[in-house]
Structure 1
Amino acid sequence: MSKVLVFGHQNPDTDAIGAAIAFANLQQALEVEAEAVALGTPSEETQFALDHFGLKAPRVIERVKPETDAVMLVDHNEFQQSVADIAEVNILAVVDHHRIANFETANPLFYRAEPVGCTSTIIYKMYQEYDVEIPEAIAGIMLSAIISDTLLFKSPTCTPEDVKAAKKLAAIAKTDLESYGLEMLKAGTNLGDKSAMELLDLDAKSFPMADKTVRIAQVNTVDLADVFNRQSELEAAMVAENAAKGYDLFLLIATDILDSNSELLAIGAPIDVVETAFATSLTNNRAFLPGVVSRKKQVVPQLTVAFEG
């Protein structure tokens, strides 16, 4: 078998990169020639975590076919969120915690999906099941992924399994979970030096809903005003992206990581579906979403139901 490339989704967050690193390391321990790669450069939050634990960021790729015909996916399964030529290669394995959609393979594969807050939680369990020791730095990046995906356990996606795994990984990584977690999350809220397009690309995914394509970006902040003081600039960039990429609707979810609330900015159509999904009315294209912090659990399912209704 040729080398296996392991990667998370486009516009990778800390779990997409951390899970790829951890799963590739597990595969290597199981005598598979695997390499973690990425479908984008690390965010500031992710780079903070990599630097803290002395890890090198995976190299960024755009296609896999020139290098290999075998891949493993982590933290995603939907083809529109994956590498450009994903349909041309053999998917050997998927480890994920998202919905399963727009996914099919020609050959049997290993598939593990669990309703937990973070893919790295599942991978932690796999290390235990295979009786493979977790290196300190790998434990650190897995811990960082859990902190990121669960917003330090504040997200409704967080489960007792995530908390248990994080505590075990913190001990292996010799890291104070609470103080490190807050420091890491704050490292990802430096938005002032980024263009509107960079903000929209930090953590964005596309979802087919009914006959529409919905683009949902999310940014974390400690002050929602830092985001919405730039509303005109953001709206212009969202309009341009809709036109260039064929999105019908573009949503930006700005999440206050300290207060655990979000504010929504919506550009495109149908706007009435957005209002139905969140039982709100948009004013100036915006709506406040109290208690909403999770795109996976509090945004995508509600929109999906509204589109189907």
Structure 2
Amino acid sequence: MSKILIFGHQSPDTDAITSAITFSHLQNELGKETEPVALGKTTAETQYALDYFEVEAPRVITTAADETPEVMLVDHNEAQQSVSDIDKVKVLAVVDHHRIANFQTANPLYYRAEPVGCTNTIILKLYKENNVEVPKHIAGLMLSAIISDTLLFKSPTCTAEDEKAAKELAEIADIDIEAYGKDLLKAGADTSSKNADQILNDDAKNFPMGDLTVRIGQVNVVDVDEILERKQELLDEMAAQSESNKLDLFILVTTNVLESDSVALVYGEEKAQVAEAFNKEMKDDTLYLEGVVSRKKQVVPQLTEQFS
């Protein structure tokens, strides 16, 4: 019998990769035969966490139906963010902390969605509810995801539950949250060796908004000028990818993890409406977004309302 595949969204971030691993471990402890896989390569930040806790990165897949009839989704639910043949497999479970959109199944399923900062915060609850012990390496990966998704608790998506979970996991993993957290975030903030495509798509998602398809990428840095110095290169790549992938808007949110601010580069005919959504002035395809760090809470809702 084939294994149940468990995976996060395309262009996977640390939460997407680690939640597949941690949820798969839980399901296997509960008697199922599952395998964590990924819908893209790991980022430098994610690889730092995997190396630190000596866990192998999941293999990358592009389709699932040729391997298994059943899957479980973590850290996403929207079809356009999932595996390309999601309509050809049975979704047994979803554990997520995002909006629910473009999602339906032919069969009943387990669905767990909570408004917290990180999927792994929810997965920790599932370990407790099922009386399954959290091993040290699993705790470390869960903690890494929470740190990443909440920007070391500075993101507005962070909740008291995330902070409580992080403290508990840090004890199990024997980790100093502040020291490890800064090292983890810095590992993902170096863009010097990345090409334009990697900067745009290492952490990017497509969102249907009204009649538009909007792709929003996000990159964390410690110096925003690293990205702004390459603005024309990035805009040219955004233009090429928008044409080839039929995107109406392409937005890159560059977040300074030390100052908790962002700068957005915007490509597309509707870019004036993007500025209007944030009540900001667009200057040379650039928006300065003070205090904005969360795509999920501070970017997607505003744009969805603007284009609805």
TM range (shorter): over 0.9
Q: CA deviation at 1:208?
A: 0.3
Give the 5 Å matches for 1:172-251. 172-251=172-251
| Residue 153 of structure 2: aligned partner | 153
In 1, the alpha carbon distance for the partners of 2:271 and 2:42 equals 32
Structure 1 residue identity aligned to 2:234: L
Tell me the secondary structure at the aligned position of residue 198 of structure 1: helix
Q: CA deviation at 1:246?
A: 0.3
Tell me the secondary structure at the aligned position of residue 145 of structure 2: helix
Residue by residue over 1:252-302, the C-alpha shift from the partner in whole angstroms, topping out at 9 and shown as x without a partner, is 000000000000110002122201110011000001100000000000000
* Shift >3 Å, 4+ stretches: none
| Residue 307 of structure 1: aligned partner | 307
Tell me the secondary structure at the aligned position of residue 105 of structure 1: coil
In 1, the alpha carbon distance for the partners of 2:229 and 2:271 equals 22
How does the TM-score come out when normalised to structure 2? 0.99
Give the 5 Å matches for 1:61-210. 61-210=61-210
Structure 2 residue identity aligned to 1:195: N
| Residue 13 of structure 2: aligned partner | 13
Structure 1 residue identity aligned to 2:260: S
In 2, the alpha carbon distance for the partners of 1:287 and 1:12 equals 25
| Residue 288 of structure 2: aligned partner | 288
Structure 2 residue identity aligned to 1:56: E
| Residue 24 of structure 2: aligned partner | 24
| Residue 60 of structure 2: aligned partner | 60
| Residue 258 of structure 1: aligned partner | 258
Residue by residue over 1:154-179, the C-alpha shift from the partner in whole angstroms, topping out at 9 and shown as x without a partner, is 00000000000000001101111110
Structure 2 residue identity aligned to 1:303: L
Structure 2 residue identity aligned to 1:114: E
In 2, the alpha carbon distance for the partners of 1:273 and 1:78 equals 24
Identity of aligned residues (%): 59
Residue by residue over 1:217-265, the C-alpha shift from the partner in whole angstroms, topping out at 9 and shown as x without a partner, is 0000000000110001000000001000000000000000000000011
Q: CA deviation at 1:82?
A: 0.3
Structure 1 residue identity aligned to 2:160: P
Q: CA deviation at 1:201?
A: 1.1
In 1, the alpha carbon distance for the partners of 2:249 and 2:207 equals 10
In 2, the alpha carbon distance for the partners of 1:122 and 1:214 equals 28
In 2, the alpha carbon distance for the partners of 1:71 and 1:273 equals 38
Listed as ranges, the gaps of 5+ residues in structure 1 are none
Aligned residues: CA RMSD: 0.6
Matched residues, number: 308
Structure 1 residue identity aligned to 2:72: M
Tell me the secondary structure at the aligned position of residue 262 of structure 1: strand
Tell me the secondary structure at the aligned position of residue 54 of structure 1: coil
Residue by residue over 1:191-211, the C-alpha shift from the partner in whole angstroms, topping out at 9 and shown as x without a partner, is 011111111111000000000
In 1, the alpha carbon distance for the partners of 2:157 and 2:223 equals 23
Tell me the secondary structure at the aligned position of residue 94 of structure 1: strand
In 1, the alpha carbon distance for the partners of 2:175 and 2:73 equals 28
Q: CA deviation at 1:150?
A: 0.1
In 1, the alpha carbon distance for the partners of 2:269 and 2:51 equals 41
Q: CA deviation at 1:87?
A: 0.6
| Residue 46 of structure 2: aligned partner | 46
